[in-house]
Amino acid sequence: MSLTLATTTPGEPEIFASLQGEGRSAGLPCTFVRLSRCNLACTWCDTAYTWRFEGDNRPHRDDITFERKANQVVLSEEDVAARIMALGGNRLVITGGEPLLQGAQLARMVSLLDGHTVEIETNGTVAPHPALAPLVSQYNVSPKLRHSGNPAEIALLSVRLQAWSDEPKAHFKFVISAPEDLAEVLELQTAYAIPGERIQLMPEGTDSKTLRSREHWLAPLCVAHGLGLSDRLHIHLYGDTRGT
């Protein structure tokens, strides 16, 4: 069986060692695996090369489409596991795209690893595969707000949001573009009884200047409402580049 991955360069899977740049584990050394394909289409997505292939007319602010053959590669589950093990380390972050679209394959791949703590980045719309769930230590759930451009009926699924709120391994990370986005976060927090200590707000942006500018007004909002602030460390260190 196989996994469909994003690439750093044509034919080279996006499997790499770096520091976690976002969320609860920010700053920790990790191995990353970036999978291809997504069921949502955020207008500001910084990994559109995982889903906006030629012929895909879902809106994106850059209006760029990517050649599928150059930006997608299929590897066996055994090959992916071997590449992860070869990088050493003991913490794995599986990201995308939307990784849980390949849940069964991920379960088989992760079962081949030895001694790894596993995090999964997800948009929160897909349930974890039953075989994968026991192998995951942390879910980084990033529900997409209205400013993402995704209709709420496909991006904010009540049954899934309640399930994530009830899952103690799930930590929420909301992307914020403007102060008024906070009201939507607070509505979701109340509707699904999400504990404040499991919510982080993260500025949208792919350059340090934008991130710092938005953090100036986002930080006091976090303090006022008892929510965490997530930076994007990798952007400051490496810029908006693949494999970092």
> What is the layout of strands, in order, in the sheet containing 2-9?
12-13, 2-9, 72-76
Mean pLDDT (the chain, rounded): 98
Cα→Cα distances 92→67, 216, 233, Å? 28, 31, 17
Average pLDDT over residues 236-241: 97
For residue range 34-68, list pLDDT tens digits in order. Answer: 999 999 999 999 999 999 999 999 999 999 999 99
pTM flag (> 0.85): yes
Alpha-carbon distance 181 to 162, whole Å? 20
- Express each pLDDT in 73-99 by its tens digit: 999 999 999 999 999 999 999 999 999
For 11-39, how does the pLDDT look when each residue is reduced to its tens digit (9 = 90+)? 999 999 999 999 999 999 999 999 999 99
Q: Which domains does the chain have, with CATH numbers?
A: 2-173 (3.20.20)
Q: What is the mean pLDDT of residues 221-229?
A: 98
